[in-house]
């Protein structure tokens, strides 16, 4: 077992120097490669200039400012869209001098000002920002700066609304600190000894509305909701489920010698959850109305209780255990009769975490709802009274990615979508508007790239920022009315980066397992790439079904070059089972996370190898963290005829051991044999190839026991593997030490080069110093 050492330096032993010089003839895995890999991110920083960050609109005006990269640092730009003018947001040189004068311990320059964001105040004559945990104000006409004292602390109290962050099985544990005042201001409701109580504001005497509350069947103050007319009070009564805790022993606390024990509340697939039942009280009469659960018999969760404006109807959302039914429920507050306004019942899963959108109109008379019922993610207009679809608003073999604005007055929806433009990467997001009746589709973006749009508060202007992995960012200001260009704000220049030998990633497309579906990925080559050499392939994998993961926007791709510079070609691929394509594409993951798109990935690799002889698929490595850690190890269990080496960090190796929401969403409920079929623990005996497991000791995302159980299974199966435990580390690769171990593992097992012995006293740092 390796143990984490100090912060990483790239070390070179004198004994191995001769071996590294010999390896340099091949040019892979050499000392120079290590130095280049380790320093790539720092060397690439600041080499791309004129990159515009997101615009910050000033109040309700058509003016905004943004930050951009310039040689040596950053600058701030102010734009008046109405006047069509652009200039510095302030005098950078005078502001730098003013700040330096009042902070004698630091010297600032016009391109190294000590803030990334600010706010205009006092009619835009003053800017306010945070520096060293203090609020600073600088007059941008006279250029005097003052420290206004410590920045205000954020209010840490929980929002009075339904506490979604609590998750299933935790609602009753939330303390109710303050009574909930009625809309008319006359009464307040609170929890007294597990029961619902009301009293007049300012009074001490109260009236109990319920009498059946107890420790095991309690009413929850965090869920209470008054009707708009203050006549009724809705609340959840909760029967607590199983309180699972993950136990930690921090072996090496920084503040004392002895280990420290702690626990984390952590529900897992199959656990018994809290049972929530909505109850309505008539405050004046004391009448208690308990609702039939016929339409919500087996909840994973019930949403916040919300009243219609008329005060006669109550709504909430029902997410069924297993996520194959999702309903909007509306209840008659007088009779208790419930009906489903929308009932989404896919054969596999409803992606409530990523594809749920609801907007009620006219007090629930109509509902805009997002659904994949026709095989693609689209918007529908429901009749809220009958529960029937009035019309499908968007349609086609493309997907709605998100709704930004619903214009009720003009009955229009402003949304993002991908896959609509033939010949483009189907993951590129574009901005659109459409009428409620499905007509009048307008595209606000046109360039072949991934777009991020920001509209002015009055929707008269918008800033369109777009890029691709192989095209630096462009920012353009346009008029909304006719989409005409007001001005090009910035066009990034990557010439200095390209001069270092860096090259744009290559976007590569190949057919998937069915021979028809396009599978998209990118190829990263080292800066000293030589097409006459042979390169092992390292795949960075993350096959989580909650998204798509191949980068689509421009960056230096530093995290990939940290591996590629050692002498590898690095790739990332989105196979079937990931999101943002068709429902059928996504459904591949259902009850089958071990699939991870591997049949598509392998076909993609082979297609690349057919085009490029230097792409060596006889030496293939793979690495990933979290769900990617499960995927990476799975490559050596289920596809070891193709993959040779894997590095798995913080892996969720058995989906029964991981967080409930993520795993039951894709693997469903109840627990069945399919969980074991996807388990790296159960299938550990299948291991072939070279495996490195990295475990952060204090991982609060994935239960650390998940990796320990894999270790146990591998030992029982008499398998060889490497294992690194990083004391005190949380979710990830274990910091610089874990990254170094990953890189060394690939160098040793894919290049056949012995990595440096980092423990030798004769060492050389990346800058050449001793």
**For position 80, what pLDDT does the model report?**
98
Cα-to-chain-centroid distance, residue 131: 28
**For position 470, what pLDDT does the model report?**
98
- Using 50, 70 and 90 to split pLDDT, how confident is the model at 501? very high
Between 694 and 21, name the one with better pLDDT.
694
CB atoms within 10 A of CB 262: 12
Rg (CA), the chain: 29
pLDDT at 386 over 60: yes
pLDDT tens for residues 232-283? 999 999 999 999 999 999 999 999 999 999 999 999 999 999 999 999 999 9
pLDDT tens for residues 512-554? 999 999 999 999 999 999 999 999 999 999 999 999 999 999 9
**For position 758, what pLDDT does the model report?**
87
- Using 50, 70 and 90 to split pLDDT, how confident is the model at 152? confident
pLDDT at 181 over 70: yes
Section 699-712 average pLDDT: 98
**For position 761, what pLDDT does the model report?**
63
pLDDT tens for residues 280-324? 999 999 999 999 999 999 999 999 999 999 999 999 999 999 999
Cα-to-chain-centroid distance, residue 459: 28
Cite the beta strand spans of 612-762 per DSSP E: 615-625, 645-649, 690-696, 722-726
**For position 151, what pLDDT does the model report?**
84
pLDDT at 769 over 60: no
Section 671-679 average pLDDT: 98
- For 148, list phi and psi in degrees, rounded to 5: -90, 10
Section 740-745 average pLDDT: 97
Section 214-226 average pLDDT: 96
**For position 384, what pLDDT does the model report?**
98
- Using 50, 70 and 90 to split pLDDT, how confident is the model at 105? confident
Answer yes or no: are the C-beta atoms of 698 and 732 closer than 8 Å: no
- Using 50, 70 and 90 to split pLDDT, how confident is the model at 746? very high
Which residue from 392, 269, 120 is spatially nearest to 655, judged by alpha carbons?
269
Which residue from 341, 391, 346 is spatially nearest to 372, judged by alpha carbons?
346
For the CA atoms of 372, 377, 381, 387, the dihedral, rounded to the nearest 10 degrees, stands at 20
- Using 50, 70 and 90 to split pLDDT, how confident is the model at 176? low
> In the structure encoding, which two tokens stand for residue 624, read together?
């990933």
pLDDT at 8 over 50: no
pTM above 0.85, yes or no: yes
**For position 158, what pLDDT does the model report?**
42
Quote the mean pLDDT of the chain: 93
| DSSP 3-state of 510 | strand
**For position 767, what pLDDT does the model report?**
41
């Amino acid at each position: 077992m390796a143990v984490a050492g100090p912060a990483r330096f790239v070390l070179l032993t004198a004994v191995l120097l001769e071996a590294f010089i010999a390896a340099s003839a091949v040019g892979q895995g050499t000392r120079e490669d290590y130095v280049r890999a380790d320093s790539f991110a720092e060397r690439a920083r600041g080499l791309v200039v004129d990159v515009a960050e997101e615009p910050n609109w000033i109040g309700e005006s058509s003016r905004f400012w943004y930050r951009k990269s310039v040689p040596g640092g950053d600058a701030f730009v102010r734009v008046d869209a109405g006047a069509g003018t652009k200039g510095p947001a302030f005098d950078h040189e005078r502001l730098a001098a003013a700040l330096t004068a009042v902070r004698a311990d630091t010297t600032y320059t016009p391109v190294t000002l000590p803030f990334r964001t600010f706010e205009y105040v006092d009619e835009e004559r003053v800017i306010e920002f945070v520096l060293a945990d203090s609020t600073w104000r600088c007059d941008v006409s006279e250029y005097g700066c003052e420290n206004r004292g410590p920045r205000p602390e954020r209010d840490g109290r929980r929002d009075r609304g339904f506490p979604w962050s609590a998750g299933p099985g935790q609602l009753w544990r939330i303390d109710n600190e303050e009574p909930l005042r009625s809309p008319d201001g006359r009464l307040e409701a609170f929890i007294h000894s597990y029961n619902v109580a009301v009293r007049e504001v300012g009074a001490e005497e109260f009236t109990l509305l319920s009498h059946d509350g107890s420790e095991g069947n309690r009413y929850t103050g965090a869920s209470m909701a008054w009707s708009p007319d203050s006549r009724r009070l809705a609340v959840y009564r909760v029967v607590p489920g199983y309180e699972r805790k993950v136990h930690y022993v921090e072996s090496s606390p920084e503040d004392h010698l002895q280990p420290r024990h702690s626990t984390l509340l952590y529900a897992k697939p199959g656990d018994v959850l809290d049972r929530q039942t909505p109850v309505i009280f008539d405050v004046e009469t004391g009448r208690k109305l308990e609702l039939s659960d016929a339409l919500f018999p087996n909840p994973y969760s019930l949403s916040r209780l919300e009243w219609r404006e008329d005060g006669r109807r109550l709504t909430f959302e029902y997410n069924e255990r297993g996520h194959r039914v999702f309903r909007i429920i509306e209840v008659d507050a007088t009779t208790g009769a419930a009906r489903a306004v929308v009932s989404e019942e896919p054969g596999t899963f409803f992606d409530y975490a990523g594809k749920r959108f609801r907007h009620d109109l006219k007090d629930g008379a109509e509902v805009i709802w997002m659904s994949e019922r026709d095989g693609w993610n689209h918007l529908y207009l429901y009749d809220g009274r009958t529960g029937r679809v009035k019309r499908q608003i968007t349609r086609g073999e493309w997907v709605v990615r998100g709704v930004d604005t619903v214009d009720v007055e003009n009955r229009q929806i402003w949304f993002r979508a991908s896959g609509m433009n033939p010949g483009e990467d189907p993951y590129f997001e574009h901005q659109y508007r459409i009428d409620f009746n499905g007509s009048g589709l307008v595209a606000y973006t046109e360039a072949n790239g991934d777009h991020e749009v920001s509209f002015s508060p009055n929707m008269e202007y918008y800033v369109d920022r777009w890029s691709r992995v192989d095209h630096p960012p462009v920012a353009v200001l346009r008029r909304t009315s006719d989409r005409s260009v007001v001005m090009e704000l910035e066009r990034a220049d990557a010439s200095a980066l390209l001069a270092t030998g860096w090259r744009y990633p290559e976007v590569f497309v190949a057919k998937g397992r069915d021979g028809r579906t396009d599978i998209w990925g990118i190829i990263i080559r080292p800066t000293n790439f030589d097409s006459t050499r042979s390169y092992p392939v390292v795949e960075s994998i993350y096959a989580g079904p909650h998204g798509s993961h191949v980068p689509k926007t421009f960056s230096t791709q530093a995290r990939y070059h940290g591996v590629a510079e050692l002498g590898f070609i690095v790739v990332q691929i989105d196979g079937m089972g990931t999101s943002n394509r068709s429902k059928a594409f996504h459904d591949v993951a259902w009850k089958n996370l071990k699939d991870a798109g591997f049949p598509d990935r392998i076909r993609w690799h082979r297609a690349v190898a057919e085009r490029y002889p230097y792409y060596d698929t006889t030496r293939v490595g793979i690495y990933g963290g979290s769900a990617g850690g499960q995927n990476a190890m799975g490559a050596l269990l289920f596809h070891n005829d193709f993959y040779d080496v894997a590095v798995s960090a913080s892996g969720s190796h058995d989906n029964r051991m991981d967080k409930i929401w993520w795993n039951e969403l894709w693997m469903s409920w109840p627990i069945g044999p399919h969980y074991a079929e996807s388990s790296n623990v159960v299938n550990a005996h299948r291991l072939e190839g070279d495996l490195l497991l990295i475990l952060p000791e204090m991982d609060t995302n994935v239960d650390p026991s998940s990796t320990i159980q894999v270790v146990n299974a591998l030992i029982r199966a008499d398998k060889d593997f490497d294992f690194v435990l990083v004391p005190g580390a949380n979710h990830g690769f274990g910091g610089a030490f874990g990254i170094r171990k990953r890189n060394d593992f690939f160098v040793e097992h894919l290049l056949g080069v012995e990595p440096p012995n980092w423990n030798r006293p004769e060492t050389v740092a990346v800058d050449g110093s001793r």
